[in-house]
């Protein structure tokens, strides 16, 4: 067969996602277990989600340190012994913290779960938080923060969040590496003891998950331990009036970082799918308006991006770029010029169609394989949503008109409502 290279392949539309709902189980201690059994390879991924993020803690770094310390020793094993066990069986174990939830994950061949799940259970239930390892980790994180304090991109992004939320808010990054000096081992232990508990945990198992795997999970995680705090929000912060313009001097910076944005609806809001489309048009992919103008046409930056960011309790709209120092003001002007164009003009069908195809393709990536589907499900469940969100998003992408896009821009992208944070040199 002769390939006709002058004829492009046919583009297939996406009308909805044919997702498979996970089966739901409840362990004897009340913990919910979601099972997504698919795939032919005998590989299993088990994800543990805890309502233990910085939103719930007394200190914003207690959550981060607690997640990092889980692998540093238990009542029965040292950190080196734990690492050797996972290495011996070729498994991947990780522990991570986020603003609203903390996560523990295990990826392993199914046949090794009888040896590995008891170790994971021990880590979750019996972490020992040895003082020497705590101090080493605290110093490492402080040194990392000192290095990051010289990066204008991180300075601008962190300052942007602090400007919107206020210095003490759990979504606001700490202002100084010296904050790590205030962390106490007792505080980190208290966070672990209060939040790594059955009443705050859900489990998602994906891959080759049969009845044997479900029983292993039941055997290792159905016990009760500790006393769970209520799931009510423990923080009730009043948001400040954000400053409209902030310049942070960083002497000797080779580039300036620009962060522009405002508070925004969360993923649960009915306008969010349309806003995701709007932000993609503005700066959400390589062919976006900001990339075409500020990178391709003017060469002010290597990359510029606009996106809606949704936490559980608040959302943010952010445009971010690192630019030539002498082109900072021009970049800011061009960003607002592109925003004004969305407010004042209708997008053409010619521009809209490739954006729709791009977004639909990215959605399919979120369901490509059992582990991707499980990750997507967990991300939605943690914000009290389900897979139907994606069908609403697909419908919005396929049916939203240029007039509706312009109305969203007029409602949410008001330039006077935004803050501009710049870090670098004048």
Task: Tell me the CATH number at 217.
Answer: 3.30.830.10
Find the domain containing 303 and state its range. 245-424
Identify the DSSP state of 134: H
pTM for the model: 0.90
Identify the DSSP state of 51: S
> Are residue 196 and residue 273 in the same domain, yes or no?
no
Residues 312/383, Cβ–Cβ less than 8 Å: yes
Q: Per-residue pLDDT averaged across 57-69, rounded? A: 90
pLDDT class of 5 with cuts at 50, 70, 90: confident
In a domain, 228, yes or no: no
In a domain, 80, yes or no: yes
> Are residue 51 and residue 194 in the same domain, yes or no?
yes
Given a cut of 90, whether residue 6 has pLDDT beyond it is: no
Please give the Cα distance from 418 to 415 (Å, whole number).
5
pLDDT at residue 234, as a whole number: 52
> Are residue 261 and residue 130 in the same domain, yes or no?
no
> Are residue 267 and residue 148 in the same domain, yes or no?
no
> Are residue 132 and residue 250 in the same domain, yes or no?
no
Residues 244/419, Cβ–Cβ less than 8 Å: yes
> Are residue 215 and residue 249 in the same domain, yes or no?
no
Strand order in the sheet with 315-324: 245-249, 419-424, 255-264, 315-324, 301-310
Strand partners for 107: 45, 92
Query: Higher pLDDT residue, 12 or 265?
Result: 265
In a domain, 35, yes or no: yes
pLDDT at residue 92, as a whole number: 97
Strand duo 23-26 + 32-37: pairing: antiparallel
> Are residue 103 and residue 198 in the same domain, yes or no?
yes
> Are residue 155 and residue 268 in the same domain, yes or no?
no
pLDDT class of 232 with cuts at 50, 70, 90: low
pLDDT at residue 279, as a whole number: 97
> Are residue 252 and residue 380 in the same domain, yes or no?
yes
Residues 27/221, Cβ–Cβ less than 8 Å: yes
> Are residue 136 and residue 202 in the same domain, yes or no?
yes
Please give the Cα distance from 106 to 274 (Å, whole number).
35
93 CA to centre of own chain: 19
Q: Per-residue pLDDT averaged across 275-291, rounded? A: 96
In a domain, 101, yes or no: yes
Given a cut of 60, whether residue 301 has pLDDT beyond it is: yes
pLDDT class of 231 with cuts at 50, 70, 90: low
pLDDT digits (tens, 9 = 90+) for 16-26: 777 788 999 99
> Are residue 186 and residue 280 in the same domain, yes or no?
no
Please give the Cα distance from 90 to 268 (Å, whole number).
39
Look-up of token digits 């805890």: 50
pLDDT at residue 236, as a whole number: 67
Number of domains forming the structure of the chain = 2
In a domain, 8, yes or no: no
pLDDT at residue 233, as a whole number: 52
């Amino acid at each position: 067969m002769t390939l006709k290279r002058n004829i492009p392949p046919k583009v297939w539309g996406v009308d909805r996602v044919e997702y498979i709902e996970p089966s739901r189980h409840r362990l004897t201690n009340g913990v919910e277990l979601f099972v997504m059994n698919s795939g032919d390879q005998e590989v299993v991924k088990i994800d543990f989600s805890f309502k233990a993020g910085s939103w719930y803690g007394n200190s914003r770094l207690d959550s981060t340190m607690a997640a990092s310390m889980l692998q540093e020793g238990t009542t029965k094993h040292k950190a080196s012994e734990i690492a050797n066990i996972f290495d011996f069986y070729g498994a991947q174990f990780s522990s991570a913290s986020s603003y609203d939830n903390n996560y523990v994950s295990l990826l392993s061949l199914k046949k090794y779960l009888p040896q590995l799940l008891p170790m994971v259970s021990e880590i979750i239930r019996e972490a020992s938080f040895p003082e020497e390892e705590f101090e080493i980790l605290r110093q490492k994180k402080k040194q990392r923060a000192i290095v990051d304090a010289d990066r204008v991109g991180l300075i601008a992004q962190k300052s942007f969040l602090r400007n919107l939320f206020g210095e003490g808010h759990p979504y606001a990054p700490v202002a100084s590496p010296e904050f790590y000096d205030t962390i106490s081992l007792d505080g980190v232990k208290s966070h672990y003891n209060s939040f790594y508990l059955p009443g705050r945990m859900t489990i998602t198992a994906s891959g080759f998950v049969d009845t044997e795997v479900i029983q292993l999970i039941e055997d290792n995680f159905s016990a009760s331990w500790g006393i769970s705090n209520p799931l009510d929000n423990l923080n009730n912060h009043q948001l400040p009036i954000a400053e409209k313009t902030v310049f942070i001097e960083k002497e000797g910076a080779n580039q300036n970082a620009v962060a522009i944005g405002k508070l925004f609806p969360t993923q649960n809001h009915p306008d969010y799918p349309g806003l995701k489309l709007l932000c993609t048009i503005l700066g959400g992919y390589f062919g976006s308006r900001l990339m075409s103008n500020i990178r391709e046409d003017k060469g002010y930056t290597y990359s510029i991006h606009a996106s809606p960011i949704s936490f559980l309790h608040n959302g943010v709209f952010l445009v971010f770029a690192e630019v030539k120092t002498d082109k900072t003001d021009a970049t800011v002007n061009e960003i607002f010029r592109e925003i004004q164009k969305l407010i004042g003009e209708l997008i053409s069908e010619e521009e809209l169609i490739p954006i729709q195809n791009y977004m639909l393709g990215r959605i399919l990536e979120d369901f490509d394989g059992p582990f991707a589907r499980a990750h997507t499900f967990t991300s939605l469940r943690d914000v009290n949503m389900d897979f139907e969100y994606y069908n609403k998003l697909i419908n919005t992408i396929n049916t939203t008109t240029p007039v509706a896009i312009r109305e969203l821009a007029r409602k949410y992208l008001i330039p006077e409502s935004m803050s501009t944070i710049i870090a670098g040199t004048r």
